[in-house]
Amino acid sequence: MYNTLSGRVEEFRPLVGNRVYMFVCGPTVYDHSHIGHARTYISFDVIAKYLAYRGYSVFYLMNVTDIDDKMIQRANEVGIPVEDLADMYFKSFLEDMRALGVDSVNLYAKATEHVPEILEQIEALMEKGIAYESGGSVYFEVKKFPSFGKLSRQRLDKLEAGARVDVREEKRNPEDFALWKAYKPGEPSWDSPWGPGRPGWHVEDTAITMRYFGSQYDIHGGGRDLIFPHHDSEIAIAESITGKEPFVRYWLHTGFLNVEGEKMSKSLGNVITIKELLKRFRPEVVRFFFLHSHYRSPVDFTLTLLEEAEAAYERLENTVSNLRRSVKEASGGVGETGGTGGGGEMERESGPGLGEKALETRRRFVEAMDEDFNTREALAALFDLAREANRALAEGGCTPEEVKEALSVFEDYGGILGLFGTPADTSAAAAEAVIRILLEEREAARRKKDWETADRIRERLAEAGITVEDGKDGPRWRFSGV
């Protein structure tokens, strides 16, 4: 996997056996989650699931920032307590994650539930002379950690006052960052040795990860925008306390996301929430869209590109539906087409093509994912298998065992990618029910020798990508090939 800390792809070796401790920066719950969140959390959901598929025991931890300046400001704007705002938008976040199939997180840890650990870390830094109190606030003195900026490759002596850092008179140096913020009237607060106040942002994550993972762990994930100063600050806090390096062995970051070529921001009015997106596109389509790019690559989000992704995903989905139907027919049951099953026809020409293609696809998928989780290449392997499967089904040149093997490839790897699952099955089942009704109407028209109606139904189905073939056992239908 590509390690931001070293700047190169490295072989993955967990600290302890096959255990993997993975932490990803979670949301600040002051508003509904947006498509940037979707991109990052879908990516790490797949990473966690693939690691589990490869035999690792994964503990996936995510923090929830439920107290900070933005939350206080938003709570004041809507006139509700901060904790109520946090509860409302955390529930909204979980709804979005469930809708997107992001279900690999083992524990969500709220910052406000870890204030004792935060205070403990701040006290440790003060005892070492690395942090100082000023005006009821506590700051980390960046110059006391000479390697600050090693993740982002920012040189400490080049950091300019006011450049992405909070400049305050009570700070010794403009680049120093807050570990504890003194109480202001109307703000939530907790007691501390330095007076009432609330946690700073960076120390929340180190307190949470060291609480559950200890002084070192395997993977830290997040968006590229968090590398500096957030992740640099996490490293400085943890390594100053423990003296152990590296705090995290592998730093993984998702690429930037733009909307129509511009950075997504409220000032530009181009923020798209996950809820808005899911009103137009199915969750599987959204996952497919983001997974069609490597997680480290930048993504330009446009509705046109998403519509193209929808069409491409539906081609894969149709292949899976065709395979599932063929397996069902081969088992001896009544096929969805109204016939008595197609097993005999599939066995007519036994060839090595589809079975070998399925095995090749397994090899290509694993090779792609083993090389820094390259979902784009993994999907390319599935598309190649889909073309071979559709050809084999159309020509009848495959055995039931080969069809089952091809289907198992899609279902095994669909489980990792979050594709071809229950939501797709449900929609496909509904579509197939409608197709059966139309074919029954067509057969009724044919019996009445109403050829015009029968032909019109067949033509409309063809326009929808459904091929109807008449046979002695009744009409058979299939989705058109990729």
SS (H, E, C) 209-243: HHHHHCCCEEEEEEEHHHHHHHHHHHHHHHHHHHC
Q: pTM of the predicted model, to two decimals?
A: 0.84
Are 160 and 172 in contact by the 8 Å Cβ rule? The answer is: no
Q: What is the pLDDT of residue 158?
A: 72
Q: Please name the residue that has the structure tokens 């509700």.
A: 80
Q: What is the pLDDT of residue 167?
A: 56
Q: What is the pLDDT of residue 429?
A: 52
Are 119 and 235 in contact by the 8 Å Cβ rule? The answer is: no
Which residues, in sequence order, are CB contacts of 296 under 8 Å at separation 6+? 2, 253, 254, 255, 372
Structure-block tokens of residue 335? 């096929």
CATH numbers and ranges of domains, the chain:
2-254 (3.40.50.620), 305-479 (1.20.120.640)
Q: What is the rounded CA–CA span in Å between residue 153 and residue 174?
A: 19
Q: What is the pLDDT of residue 454?
A: 86
The bridge status of strand 107-110 relative to strand 131-134 is unpaired
Residue 177 gets which letter from DSSP? E
Tally helices (H) and strands (E) across the chain: 15, 16
Residue 110 gets which letter from DSSP? E
Q: What is the pLDDT of residue 479?
A: 64
Q: What is the pLDDT of residue 308?
A: 97
Q: What is the rounded CA–CA span in Å between residue 304 and residue 331?
A: 41
Structure-block tokens of residue 13? 């070796």
Q: What is the pLDDT of residue 283?
A: 96
Across the chain, which distance is largest between two alpha carbons, in Å? 94
What is the pLDDT tens value at each position of the chain, 482 positions in all?
999 999 999 999 999 999 999 999 999 999 999 999 999 999 999 999 999 999 999 999 999 999 999 999 999 999 999 999 999 999 999 999 999 999 999 999 999 999 999 999 999 999 999 999 999 999 999 999 999 999 999 887 776 444 444 555 689 999 999 999 999 999 999 999 999 999 999 999 999 999 999 999 999 999 999 999 999 999 999 999 999 999 999 999 999 999 988 888 877 888 999 999 999 999 999 999 999 999 999 999 999 999 999 999 999 999 999 999 999 887 764 333 333 233 344 443 444 589 999 999 999 999 999 999 999 999 999 999 999 999 999 988 789 999 999 999 999 999 999 999 743 444 555 566 678 778 888 888 888 888 988 888 888 888 777 888 887 667 877 765 43
Buried b or exposed e, range 171-192, using 16+ CB within 10 angstroms: beeebbbbbbbbbeeebbbbeb
Structure-block tokens of residue 163? 């450049």
